[in-house]
Chain A
Amino acid sequence: MAELSIREALGQAMAEEMRRDPDVFLMGEEVAEYDGAYKVSKGLLAEFGAKRVWDSPISEAGFTGLGVGAAMVGLRPIIEMMTWNFGIQGFDQIINHAAKMLYMSAGQFNVPAVFRGPNGAAHMLAAQHSQSVEHMLATVPGLKVISISNAADGKGLLKSAIRDDNPVIFLESEMMYAQKCEVPDGEYLIPIGKARIEREGTDVTIVAWNKTLPLAAEAAKALAEEGISAEVIDLRTIQPMDEEAIFKSVAKTNRLVVAEEGWPFATVGTHITARVQEEMFDELDAPVVRVANDFVSMPYAEHLEHAVVITAEKIIAAVKKVTYSA
């Protein structure tokens, strides 16, 4: 086991897959000579050369589409979005083309491409640089959506994403690239579509992913000191969703809080809430509570930003609400 940061683990995943398969290439803004805007692709140009590591023009729609076309004829592109806020420019290619190609062609043309980059708010980047896209993309049939919270999952899931024959959206976070954890050595693959129990508990289930996972863990730790035992689930894959893991946990705790970034309207959290009430109505001891950012664009000033984003305190308040311990 080696201790790696998320950026190192993701870089390692790409390097290993590029060594394994000559059809894998990386394209995005600043991924080659600059070693990546967030240094995720550090060293890849040096090892694999300009044929396989491409600095793109600032043309998200264009190079996302280029990835779709290259994948249709058998290459395996990794397309890096410097941020998913820019990636929205490529949504036409992702939603109208990548997601539908297999279906429209009745199985003839699949799109084995990974579209990856940081998602969600960072710190004081304001309205156009702080958005979360998972719910926008997870609603589209044909796409898989992964959102990672630690280096080990990042490596294992990115390798699986690169090998997957479907278009995969892979969501990271600017704020987490430096966070370290133990990553298993050697070939390490995590199956897409499997959640992970971050912390076991008995009184309430908190479902989180990406940047809300450490917030949920922090909340669980604080709640434990007050005698509330929270089980924290790292969803890891948004689409397809591991409903079984959620249902199993809720069957044990009978209470659910969903903690997510982004706006609270029609989200991954609302979907989870709907599914749990459909399948487990009788097992719930309290209404499901969702915690998200507030329904406003992201302000710049630090105190304003802090006021509208999800925090551990807000998760704690939600848990107290569903456990009637407020």
Chain B
Amino acid sequence: MAKGVSKDQKIDFYKQMLLFRKFEEKVGQAYTKQKFSGFCHLHIGQEALAVGVQQNLRDDDYMISGYRSHTQAIGKGIAPESVMAELFGKVDGCARGKGGSMHMFSKEKNFLGGHGIVGGQVPIAAGVGFAIRYRGGDQVCICYLGDAAANQGQFFEALNMAATWNLPVLFIIENNRYGMGTDITRTTSVEKLSERALGFAMEHSTEDALDVLNVYDHVGKIVEKMRKDKKPHLYEALTYRFRGHSVSDPGSYRTKEEVESYRAKDSILKLGEQLVAEKIASEEDLKAWGKEIKERVKQAEAFADNAKIADVSEAWQHNYVDTHS
């Protein structure tokens, strides 16, 4: 591994992934208990990518994503309490209960949304990259999208502009193999989605994203280079979601065996085993951390349960701002 990972970092990665897993499990339970409604897309199975990417970012880097972004928002620094409260439609949520599951936002943390129009966030990310260059900064913008979003026209337009003008955006296709219930191979002309970048002479890669250490190393190199040369990159991250497209998805389009084969490669289990094998942690440590994180998530849920709802007058706020330059 080119980039050294300390024992503490490995522990940190493990805990982060576990936090994301437990958070989303809690979200799924809360949905089932009808604590909130609407659409709810869980990120369970894809934690290694979120953590491996996040660990390479600075606070002043930007991130924008699609509709499966609860944990990415937490990774970028939004408190789990704030994300859970948003899901519950509470005023203490990161968008005051006006965005919900698909629209997490934090200006303070440079998290530019959760977006519900598939692929719509991709040119917006190009605009953020444009602004970085315009101001001469060395930040990067991470743009997450799903495999199916790589068939949207806006994706192609954005990639062309980013490549032509050297906009520092890392486009990450989270290829979990299904666009909702449609196997990506049934709708897509290329096997490797990263090869879409060839049409724009853009740097690209296809890499496993179930191993957090692999993601961390891979993205670290890309980001380090991008801060200097500003060139965008299209990273196809091979991952898998263990749960359905949304919580109401029966999953009839894929086999149990397939899901099980990926569960066997679960990044959290794997890293846990590695920590024990390398004597960085004991089984007891893992259990203790699990308990600690469960408590952390419970705390977030309790916060959201007890948070207030917005005054109804807020329904008519934030339509326009009254300010000008």
User: Are B103's CB and A104's CB within 8 A?
Assistant: yes
Out of A57, A96, A160, A162, which one reaches B164, CB within 8 Å? A57
User: Are B319's CB and A102's CB within 8 A?
Assistant: yes
User: Are A73's CB and B128's CB within 8 A?
Assistant: yes
User: With A72-B124, A102-B321, A104-B98 given, is the CB distance from A59 to B157 under 8 Å?
Assistant: yes
- B302-324 contacts to A (CB < 8 Å): 314, 317-321, 323-324
User: Are B115's CB and A66's CB within 8 A?
Assistant: no
- Residues of A contacting B164 in the complex (Cβ-Cβ under 8 angstroms): 57
Among residues of B, the one whose C-beta sits closest to the C-beta of A141 is: B319
The verdict on B105 contacting chain A, using a C-beta distance below 8 Å, is yes
Out of B112, B117, B157, B160, which one reaches A109, CB within 8 Å? B112
User: With A97-B115, A104-B95 given, is the CB distance from A109 to B127 under 8 Å?
Assistant: no
- Residues of B contacting A59 in the complex (Cβ-Cβ under 8 angstroms): 157, 160-161
Out of A57, A93, A106, A166, which one reaches B96, CB within 8 Å? A106
User: Are A76's CB and B325's CB within 8 A?
Assistant: yes
User: Are B126's CB and A164's CB within 8 A?
Assistant: no
Among residues of B, the one whose C-beta sits closest to the C-beta of A108 is: B107
Among residues of A, the one whose C-beta sits closest to the C-beta of B133 is: A51
The verdict on A120 contacting chain B, using a C-beta distance below 8 Å, is no
- For the complex formed, measure the closest distance between the CB of B322 and the CB atoms of chain A, giving whole angstroms: 8
- For the complex formed, measure the closest distance between the CB of A81 and the CB atoms of chain B, giving whole angstroms: 15
Out of B62, B107, B122, which one reaches A65, CB within 8 Å? B122
Query: How long is the Cα–Cα vector from A286 to B319 in the complex, in angstroms?
Result: 36
The verdict on A131 contacting chain B, using a C-beta distance below 8 Å, is no
User: Are A105's CB and B105's CB within 8 A?
Assistant: yes
Query: How long is the Cα–Cα vector from A68 to B158 in the complex, in angstroms?
Result: 12
User: Are A68's CB and B134's CB within 8 A?
Assistant: no
- For the complex formed, measure the closest distance between the CB of B185 and the CB atoms of chain A, giving whole angstroms: 26
Out of A51, A76, A96, which one reaches B117, CB within 8 Å? A96
- Top 7 closest A-B pairs, CB basis? A69-B127, A65-B123, A62-B157, A69-B124, A106-B96, A105-B105, A59-B157
User: Are B160's CB and A142's CB within 8 A?
Assistant: no
The verdict on A71 contacting chain B, using a C-beta distance below 8 Å, is yes
- Residues of A contacting B107 in the complex (Cβ-Cβ under 8 angstroms): 105, 108-109
- Residues of A contacting B105 in the complex (Cβ-Cβ under 8 angstroms): 104-106, 108-109
The verdict on A182 contacting chain B, using a C-beta distance below 8 Å, is no
User: Are B113's CB and A104's CB within 8 A?
Assistant: yes
- Residues of A contacting B321 in the complex (Cβ-Cβ under 8 angstroms): 102, 107, 110, 165-166
Query: How long is the Cα–Cα vector from A107 to B105 in the complex, in angstroms?
Result: 10
- Residues of A contacting B130 in the complex (Cβ-Cβ under 8 angstroms): 66, 69-70, 75
Residues of chain B touching chain A, judged by Cβ–Cβ distance below 8 Å, are: 62, 64, 95-99, 103, 105-107, 112-113, 115, 117, 120, 122-131, 134, 153-154, 157-158, 160-161, 164, 314, 317-321, 323-325
User: Are A112's CB and B99's CB within 8 A?
Assistant: no
User: Could you list 13 examples of A-B contacts with CB < 8 Å?
Assistant: A56-B161, A61-B154, A63-B123, A65-B120, A65-B157, A66-B158, A68-B127, A97-B124, A102-B319, A106-B317, A110-B321, A142-B320, A165-B324
User: With A59-B160, A106-B98, A164-B324 given, is the CB distance from A64 to B123 under 8 Å?
Assistant: yes
- For the complex formed, measure the closest distance between the CB of A57 and the CB atoms of chain B, giving whole angstroms: 6
- Residues of A contacting B134 in the complex (Cβ-Cβ under 8 angstroms): 25, 51, 70, 75
Question: How many of chain A's residues touch chain B, expressed as a range?
Answer: 35 or more
In the complex, the number of residue pairs spanning A and B with C-beta atoms less than 8 Å apart equals: 153
The verdict on A67 contacting chain B, using a C-beta distance below 8 Å, is yes
Residues of chain A touching chain B, judged by Cβ–Cβ distance below 8 Å, are: 21, 23, 25, 51, 56-57, 59, 61-77, 92-93, 96-97, 101-110, 112, 141-142, 144, 160, 162-166
Among residues of B, the one whose C-beta sits closest to the C-beta of A77 is: B127
User: Are A61's CB and B320's CB within 8 A?
Assistant: no
- For the complex formed, measure the closest distance between the CB of A56 and the CB atoms of chain B, giving whole angstroms: 8
User: Are B318's CB and A107's CB within 8 A?
Assistant: yes
User: Are A102's CB and B320's CB within 8 A?
Assistant: yes
- Residues of A contacting B64 in the complex (Cβ-Cβ under 8 angstroms): 69
User: With A65-B127, A92-B120, A166-B321 given, is the CB distance from A105 to B154 under 8 Å?
Assistant: no
Among residues of A, the one whose C-beta sits closest to the C-beta of B97 is: A106
User: Are A66's CB and B123's CB within 8 A?
Assistant: yes
- Residues of A contacting B319 in the complex (Cβ-Cβ under 8 angstroms): 102-103, 141-142
Among residues of B, the one whose C-beta sits closest to the C-beta of A71 is: B127
Pick the most buried of A57, A92, A105, A110: most chain B CB atoms within 10 A of its CB: A105
- For the complex formed, measure the closest distance between the CB of B127 and the CB atoms of chain A, giving whole angstroms: 2
- Residues of B contacting A67 in the complex (Cβ-Cβ under 8 angstroms): 127
Query: How long is the Cα–Cα vector from A72 to B106 in the complex, in angstroms?
Result: 12
Query: How long is the Cα–Cα vector from A142 to B96 in the complex, in angstroms?
Result: 18
User: Are A65's CB and B126's CB within 8 A?
Assistant: yes
Among residues of A, the one whose C-beta sits closest to the C-beta of B107 is: A108
Query: How long is the Cα–Cα vector from A97 to B318 in the complex, in angstroms?
Result: 14
Other than the given A75-B134, A108-B95, 14 more pairs (CB < 8 A) read: A23-B325, A57-B161, A65-B127, A69-B126, A70-B128, A73-B128, A74-B131, A104-B103, A107-B96, A108-B106, A109-B112, A142-B320, A160-B324, A163-B324
